[in-house]
């Protein structure tokens, strides 16, 4: 947690303090913050403050500050990032937030790859329809395909017209896969880093990418309807169909002690990403009609 803190502090201190001064201030601030937290833990019966934790936090802040140093003035001032996102999205900053948060919305364990929107309703009417025995590979392909197809169409509406959308979306998917594998390794162990990347998930990504490439040529209204339909179908699948049995079996391997609070935060993000996307789509549809 202190690596990103040190990194962000160097950004916050620019341009008044740079170089060695910025590193020193970031480290000193982190030292006082960590020391205060460690001291406060002496009042908690379940926590034991240690000097090792304080030193580790200090080193994390130092590493984060060092990582920020090679960045040029345009990056440290935020100008380059702002211009890049302005070029991609214009003034649609809610869609920018959803774009940045999409990879992190996949960190919390899901019954299928990209299976956002699970609300834990505890209702399974599908069993009464005779569809409870759907093969897990088909289920994973449907969830992944609907999710990625809907996300592609969502950002095709949010991005400006002259942007190479497929290239940008391919980069987003690659970053999402990397982040997911890293956090899955922390949650379940390094040997399970890519356990979620099943045949169904691969087929779902491949077919939905092809279908999204075709739909990119359609009108805005068709893409809007298809996007909403895909994301609604995704929520129905993840909430009303039974979980993948292999996912259920793998849950006992989950090490909850690692990144416990971060996992809770990522669970909320996985819940909220789709509802916020629906709000943006409704707003977009109203503006398009006007």
Q: Report the predicted TM-score, pTM, of the whole model to 2 decimal places.
A: 0.73
Query: Among 72-76, 125-129, 265-269, 279-283, which stretch is predicted with the lowest mean pLDDT?
Result: 125-129
pLDDT computed for residue 175 by the predictor: 93
Neighbours of 268 (CB within 10 A): 11
- Distance set, CA 215 to CA 109, 118, 220, 229, 258 (Å): 30, 26, 10, 13, 41
Q: Is 52 or 133 the better-scoring residue by pLDDT?
A: 52
- Distance set, CA 258 to CA 68, 185, 187, 251, 261 (Å): 26, 11, 7, 14, 9
Cα–Cα distance between 208 and 5 in angstroms, integer? 37
Q: Where are the domains of the chain?
A: 2-77, 86-289
Cα–Cα distance between 214 and 128 in angstroms, integer? 36
What's the number of CA atoms in the CB half-sphere (13 Å) around residue 188? 20
Query: Among 34-43, 77-86, 141-150, 268-277, which stretch is predicted with the lowest mean pLDDT?
Result: 77-86
Cα–Cα distance between 270 and 106 in angstroms, integer? 7
pLDDT computed for residue 10 by the predictor: 85
């Amino acid at each position: 947690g202190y690596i990103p803190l040190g990194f962000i502090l160097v950004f916050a201190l620019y341009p008044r303090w740079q170089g060695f001064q910025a590193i020193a201030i970031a480290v000193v601030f982190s030292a006082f913050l960590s020391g205060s937290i460690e001291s406060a833990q002496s009042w908690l019966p379940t926590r034991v403050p240690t000097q090792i934790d304080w030193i580790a936090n200090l080193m994390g802040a130092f590493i984060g500050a060092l990582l920020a140093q090679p960045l040029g003035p345009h990056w440290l001032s935020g100008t380059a990032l702002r211009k890049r996102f302005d070029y991609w999205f214009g003034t649609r900053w809610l869609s920018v937030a959803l774009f940045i948060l999409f990879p992190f919305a996949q960190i919390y364990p899901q019954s299928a790859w990209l299976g956002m929107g699970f609300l834990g309703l505890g209702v399974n009417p599908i069993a009464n329809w005779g569809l409870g025995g759907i093969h897990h590979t088909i289920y994973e392909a449907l969830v992944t395909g609907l999710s990625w197809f809907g996300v592609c169409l969502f950002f095709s509406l949010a991005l400006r017209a002259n942007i190479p959308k497929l290239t940008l979306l391919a980069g987003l998917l690659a970053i999402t896969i990397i982040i997911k594998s890293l956090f899955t390794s922390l949650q379940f162990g390094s040997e399970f880093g890519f356990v979620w990347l099943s045949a169904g998930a691969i087929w779902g990504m491949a077919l939905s990418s092809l279908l999204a490439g075709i739909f990119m040529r359609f009108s805005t209204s068709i893409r809007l309807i298809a996007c909403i339909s895909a994301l609604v179908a995704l929520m129905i699948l993840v909430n009303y169909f039974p979980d993948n049995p292999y996912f259920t079996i793998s849950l006992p391997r989950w090490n909850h002690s690692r990144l416990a609070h971060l996992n809770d935060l990522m669970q909320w993000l996985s819940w909220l990403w789709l509802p916020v996307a629906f709000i943006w789509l409704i707003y977009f549809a109203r503006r398009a009609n006007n």
